């Protein structure tokens, strides 16, 4: 199981070179953990960049994955991790989900670069 950050989905959907690196990792939805905050960010991106039908289809494609809601324990852990690692709230919630689920976080977001349990892939311009 692996937690996917929003940027992973965006890179794949935007068909970038980095998206091609990430795409095989998304091929087995049953092996993915998706925090509800990632769903929010992903739909927000899709509605801005695509249309509502495409946004609906993208969210539907995540339903075979394990969707992890923001619980009290994740929220409290996120607050601690935010303070410890100086993370923005959204990043802290996503990271806390990975920590609680004891799963690596796959990302290209430099905010996570040196954190334990993060599989960081460098975004090349």
* Beta carbons of 34 and 66 less than 8 angstroms apart: yes
pLDDT at residue 124, rounded to an integer = 74
Percent of the chain scored above 90 by pLDDT? 98
Question: What tens digit of pLDDT does each residue of 3-21 get?
Answer: 999 999 999 999 999 999 9
pLDDT at 125 over 70: no
The overall average pLDDT reported for the chain is 96
* Beta carbons of 63 and 36 less than 8 angstroms apart: no
pLDDT at residue 100, rounded to an integer = 98
pLDDT at 26 over 80: yes
Is the pTM above the cut of 0.75?
yes
Cα distances (angstroms) measured from residue 48 to each of 10, 30, 45, 85, 96:
12, 27, 5, 30, 27
d(CA 9, CA 26): 8
Structural domains in the chain, CATH included, are 2-120 (3.40.50.1010)
Closest CA to 68 of 101, 108, 95: 101
């Amino acid at each position: 199981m692996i937690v996917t950050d929003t940027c992973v989905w965006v890179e794949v959907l935007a068909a970038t070179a980095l998206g091609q690196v990430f795409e095989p990792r998304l091929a087995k939805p049953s092996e993915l953990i998706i925090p509800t905050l990632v769903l929010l960010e992903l739909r927000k991106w899709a509605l801005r960049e695509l249309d509502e039908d495409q946004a609906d289809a993208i969210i539907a494609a995540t339903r075979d994955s394990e969707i992890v809601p923001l619980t009290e324990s994740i929220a409290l852990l996120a607050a601690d991790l935010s303070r410890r690692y100086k993370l923005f709230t959204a990043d802290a919630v996503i990271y806390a989900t990975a920590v609680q689920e004891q799963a690596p976080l796959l990302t290209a977001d430099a905010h996570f670069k040196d954190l334990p349990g993060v599989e960081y892939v460098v975004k090349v311009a």
